[in-house]
Structure 1
Amino acid sequence: MFEWWNNLSAILVFDILGLVKGTKLGDAVHFFIFDTIKIFILLIVIVYLITFLRSYFPLEKIRVYLSGKNKIIGHILASIFGIITPFCSCSAIPLFLGFLQARIPLGVAFSYLVSAPLSDPVVFALLISMFSWKIAVLYVAFGVIISIVVGLIIGAMNMEKEVLIEVKPLDNISYTEDGTLFKHRIKESWDYSLDILKKIYLYIIIGVGVGAFIHGFIPEDFISKYAGGDVWYAPIVAVIVGIPMYSNELGILPIIEVLTQKGVLIGTALSFMMAIVALSLPEAMILKRVISIKLIGIFFGVVGLAILLTGYTLNYFVG
């Protein structure tokens, strides 16, 4: 989707600025420029579209439907939607925010936030080629299960008051017959999306900046040394080291292959990858403007524990 911007940002960094591709500085600057603008674009477009569309559709009925007896369906649908819209942990935040603006239940929104970075169809295919069908299916299955369980837990805790971004109410009135009112609706949606961007842009810049700083720093030697073999604490080390880091699945998969070749058990290696892609320090810094620190802590704690249990389960049954 953003290949065009990836190419343009590469030209800017390596051709115009003269930084060397493949060096830590060059790659970090390229990563920062590419990811920051990408998230800005996603944020504006998604918030604009959802703000505009929710005035024409009975989203309140959808919210009630997802909050009632069919709530489990909402979590399943959010997890599936995450599979077909695979973003990294930071890039998934704009759509997560869009869910909140549409008054989708908080737990359902979190199911998407977990599923999107964890469940990439391309990664599924690569896991088959690197390991086996069984490993690929188990990885995706655990990713979906984690996203649903996390969403259900957070939803049951009634944490809506911990959302910091104000949801602007819009009446579901059709303006299609009046051009003036229709243009007003467009302007109102645009102004609101810019207002949201103004509130969190600094956190995005700081968060992606931290991500750029640690980008490419994957301590595979540390992991293979302290989390290798079948030591009981191996998944714990992998998850603790992985959580602060920031990468997508495609970027970390080659490292996972190397780790397994060095004797790291598959459950430990995959829990390391899950911790990196589902949780990250940059993600927490961006979310800090959207939800409270308390809710961020609960989110990271529940997801981290679920990933840890996944690692132990895979180590026990797969090895």
Structure 2
Amino acid sequence: MVVQHLDKILKGIAKEDAFSLINKIPLEMLNITPDQLQTKTIICNPTELLEINPKLYHADFIMELDHVILITEFQSTYIDLHDKRQFRLYTALKDKDRTNNKPMYLIVFSTVEKTKIIDYKINDTCSFKILVISLKNHDAEEAINIIETKIKNNQKINQTELINLALSPLMSFEGTIEEQLEKTVKTLNKLINSINRSSEFVFGITWLLIDKFIENENTRKRLCNLLSDNMRLIEEFGQSKFEDGMEKGIEKGIRKGKKEGKAEGKMEGIIEGMIKGEKRGEEKGIIKGEKRGIKKGKEQSQIEIAKELLKANIPINTISHATKIPKNQLKTLYGK
């Protein structure tokens, strides 16, 4: 299902990927300060409003930063009264469920409107502001050609170029939005050979646009299926990178633990050796004490490392492989 894929992909976006889109927003028009955009995390939840009407709401997504909430919508027609009411409903639903006082902003990326603030008056004392960002002065063909050229020349593609590719169906072009989306998908398929984390976000936005703007069911399914195959590869790539990173992280932690354990064991060995040095000589005692202390330190450090990994719910098979501690011993010691 489209929504499930988007939920999985967009909720896992990196901060730099989200900011490739956020940086296109003229934040001064909303009086958003740079400090408000300082954030350690970004929560992206495109499907949380589905309970009312999936057909109307699944194409929008929400980016929640540490200090602000940005509700985003893509629009290919002029904003009318129905749209304004729908946008107001977005913020009302989010406001109902939120557990903080972060300010919320509704942002519309438009292919026909000018960049402006729409002040939707609910009554004489209450109004709702909508920031419209125009993309009609951007050249879709140019955005695609930049990517195509870099793919051909095996050059690095930056995040701004990737997000421009995803938004190209909302830019100026000849033909229909369906034809432009097809061009975008074809270019995205060529990116599969240079998959990276940023590609996830671009694929996700393109899928949003396909599902929202392409009315012909057969065309929509065909393009979504093309993206689905490539997004599956991206997910598998990301999972392999995660597992590889976890393994390397565990090994690095063990090396550090062994080093610390060795230092601690060495000190124990020196003390023990000095005590026995009265009979065997100081030099022999220190050497023997070091060996015993180092061994003890290594064993103890591995056990402590394993204990912390178990607390973090790391699989026993992975811990056993990394620490060389038998699985049976891990289960006996820590009841896992």
The structure with the greater share of residues assigned to helix is: 1
Instruction: Give the TM-score category using the shorter length.
Output: under 0.3
Structure ranking higher on relative contact order (CA contacts 8 Å, 6+ apart):
1
Larger radius of gyration: 2
TM-score between both structures, scaled by the size of structure 2: 0.27
TM-score between both structures, scaled by the size of structure 1: 0.28
